[in-house]
Amino acid sequence: MRLWTIHPKFLDQVGLVALWREGLLAKKVLSHQTKGCKNHPQLLRFKKTTNPEAYINAYLYPIWLEAKKRHYNFDISKISAIKQLPQLTITQGQLEYEMQHLKQKLATRNIQQLAVITETRQIIPHPLFRNIAGKIEDWEIIK
Protein backbone atom coordinates (compact mmCIF):
# COMPACT_ATOMS: atom_id res chain seq x y z
CA MET A 1 0.00 0.00 0.00
CA ARG A 2 1.40 3.39 -0.98
CA LEU A 3 -0.44 6.52 0.08
CA TRP A 4 1.67 9.26 -1.46
CA THR A 5 2.17 12.53 0.39
CA ILE A 6 3.37 14.28 -2.77
CA HIS A 7 0.68 16.06 -4.78
CA PRO A 8 -1.33 13.72 -7.04
CA LYS A 9 -0.53 15.94 -10.04
CA PHE A 10 2.95 14.41 -10.13
CA LEU A 11 1.60 10.89 -10.74
CA ASP A 12 1.11 9.36 -14.15
CA GLN A 13 -2.11 7.58 -15.09
CA VAL A 14 -0.99 4.26 -13.62
CA GLY A 15 0.08 5.93 -10.38
CA LEU A 16 -3.08 7.98 -10.00
CA VAL A 17 -5.38 4.99 -10.59
CA ALA A 18 -3.33 2.89 -8.17
CA LEU A 19 -3.44 5.66 -5.56
CA TRP A 20 -7.23 5.91 -5.87
CA ARG A 21 -7.57 2.15 -5.38
CA GLU A 22 -5.11 2.07 -2.49
CA GLY A 23 -6.88 5.03 -0.89
CA LEU A 24 -10.24 3.28 -1.16
CA LEU A 25 -8.71 0.17 0.40
CA ALA A 26 -7.31 2.34 3.20
CA LYS A 27 -10.78 3.80 3.70
CA LYS A 28 -12.24 0.31 4.09
CA VAL A 29 -9.53 -0.62 6.57
CA LEU A 30 -10.02 2.56 8.60
CA SER A 31 -13.81 2.04 8.52
CA HIS A 32 -13.37 -1.55 9.79
CA GLN A 33 -14.95 -2.97 6.63
CA THR A 34 -12.06 -5.34 5.97
CA LYS A 35 -9.53 -7.20 8.07
CA GLY A 36 -6.57 -6.94 5.71
CA CYS A 37 -3.75 -4.40 6.00
CA LYS A 38 -5.08 -2.98 9.28
CA ASN A 39 -1.59 -2.49 10.73
CA HIS A 40 0.06 -1.17 7.59
CA PRO A 41 2.54 1.65 8.38
CA GLN A 42 1.01 3.88 5.69
CA LEU A 43 -2.22 3.96 7.72
CA LEU A 44 -0.63 5.16 10.95
CA ARG A 45 -0.77 8.83 9.98
CA PHE A 46 -4.55 8.51 9.64
CA LYS A 47 -5.03 6.28 12.69
CA LYS A 48 -3.26 8.85 14.88
CA THR A 49 -5.80 11.55 14.00
CA THR A 50 -8.94 12.32 15.96
CA ASN A 51 -11.09 11.14 13.04
CA PRO A 52 -9.35 8.65 10.71
CA GLU A 53 -12.38 8.21 8.44
CA ALA A 54 -12.76 11.96 7.90
CA TYR A 55 -9.05 12.26 7.17
CA ILE A 56 -9.00 9.46 4.61
CA ASN A 57 -11.98 11.07 2.85
CA ALA A 58 -10.12 14.39 2.89
CA TYR A 59 -7.10 12.54 1.45
CA LEU A 60 -9.14 10.96 -1.35
CA TYR A 61 -10.89 14.14 -2.46
CA PRO A 62 -7.84 15.86 -4.08
CA ILE A 63 -7.10 12.58 -5.86
CA TRP A 64 -10.63 12.62 -7.25
CA LEU A 65 -10.15 16.28 -8.28
CA GLU A 66 -6.94 15.44 -10.13
CA ALA A 67 -8.69 12.55 -11.89
CA LYS A 68 -11.58 14.83 -12.87
CA LYS A 69 -9.08 17.38 -14.23
CA ARG A 70 -7.65 14.61 -16.43
CA HIS A 71 -11.15 13.50 -17.51
CA TYR A 72 -10.91 10.16 -15.70
CA ASN A 73 -14.12 8.68 -14.34
CA PHE A 74 -13.47 8.08 -10.62
CA ASP A 75 -16.64 7.54 -8.60
CA ILE A 76 -17.08 10.44 -6.15
CA SER A 77 -19.83 8.51 -4.34
CA LYS A 78 -17.10 6.35 -2.82
CA ILE A 79 -16.06 9.33 -0.69
CA SER A 80 -18.15 10.50 2.24
CA ALA A 81 -18.76 14.18 2.97
CA ILE A 82 -15.52 16.13 3.11
CA LYS A 83 -14.82 18.14 6.24
CA GLN A 84 -12.37 21.00 6.59
CA LEU A 85 -9.62 19.47 8.74
CA PRO A 86 -6.29 20.66 10.10
CA GLN A 87 -3.46 19.62 7.81
CA LEU A 88 -1.13 16.82 8.78
CA THR A 89 2.62 17.46 8.68
CA ILE A 90 5.19 15.88 6.41
CA THR A 91 8.92 16.49 6.37
CA GLN A 92 10.79 17.81 3.37
CA GLY A 93 12.93 14.67 3.55
CA GLN A 94 9.88 12.43 3.17
CA LEU A 95 8.69 14.44 0.17
CA GLU A 96 12.12 14.18 -1.44
CA TYR A 97 12.22 10.44 -0.74
CA GLU A 98 8.81 9.95 -2.36
CA MET A 99 9.73 12.03 -5.40
CA GLN A 100 12.88 9.99 -5.91
CA HIS A 101 10.86 6.78 -5.51
CA LEU A 102 8.34 8.01 -8.08
CA LYS A 103 11.12 8.91 -10.51
CA GLN A 104 12.46 5.35 -10.26
CA LYS A 105 9.02 3.95 -11.04
CA LEU A 106 8.50 6.34 -13.95
CA ALA A 107 11.90 5.50 -15.44
CA THR A 108 10.53 2.07 -16.31
CA ARG A 109 6.93 2.92 -17.20
CA ASN A 110 6.50 6.55 -18.29
CA ILE A 111 9.54 8.46 -19.56
CA GLN A 112 7.39 11.45 -20.58
CA GLN A 113 6.02 11.95 -17.05
CA LEU A 114 9.52 11.44 -15.68
CA ALA A 115 10.74 14.31 -17.87
CA VAL A 116 7.93 16.53 -16.58
CA ILE A 117 8.62 15.93 -12.90
CA THR A 118 12.40 16.08 -13.35
CA GLU A 119 11.89 19.72 -14.34
CA THR A 120 9.96 20.36 -11.11
CA ARG A 121 11.76 22.81 -8.85
CA GLN A 122 9.44 22.51 -5.84
CA ILE A 123 7.88 19.33 -4.52
CA ILE A 124 4.34 20.21 -3.55
CA PRO A 125 2.68 18.01 -0.93
CA HIS A 126 -0.76 16.50 -1.21
CA PRO A 127 -3.22 19.22 -0.03
CA LEU A 128 -3.94 17.33 3.20
CA PHE A 129 -0.30 17.79 4.24
CA ARG A 130 1.84 20.77 5.08
CA ASN A 131 5.54 20.60 4.56
CA ILE A 132 7.92 21.11 7.48
CA ALA A 133 11.69 21.10 7.57
CA GLY A 134 13.28 17.80 8.41
CA LYS A 135 14.89 14.65 7.14
CA ILE A 136 13.04 11.47 6.36
CA GLU A 137 14.32 10.07 9.67
CA ASP A 138 12.57 12.91 11.49
CA TRP A 139 9.21 11.74 10.28
CA GLU A 140 7.68 9.16 12.56
CA ILE A 141 6.15 7.08 9.76
CA ILE A 142 9.02 6.04 7.55
CA LYS A 143 8.27 5.16 3.92
Average pLDDT over residues 46-68: 96
Average pLDDT over residues 49-56: 94
Question: What is the per-residue pLDDT for 41?
Answer: 82
pLDDT of 78 higher than 70: yes
Taking the complete model, does pTM exceed 0.75, yes or no? yes
User: What is the DSSP pairing of strand 88-91 with strand 129-132?
Assistant: parallel
Give the CA dihedral 76, 80, 86, 87, nearest 10 degrees: -40
Average pLDDT over residues 64-85: 94
Among the residue ranges 60-64, 81-85, 120-124, the one predicted with the least confidence is 81-85
Average pLDDT over residues 51-68: 96
Average pLDDT over residues 116-140: 83
pLDDT of 38 higher than 80: no
pLDDT of 74 higher than 80: yes
Question: What is the per-residue pLDDT for 121?
Answer: 87
Question: What is the per-residue pLDDT for 138?
Answer: 53
Let me know: does 58 contact 112? Beta carbons within 8 Å: no
CA angle at residue 16 from 36 to 63, to 5 degrees?
A: 85
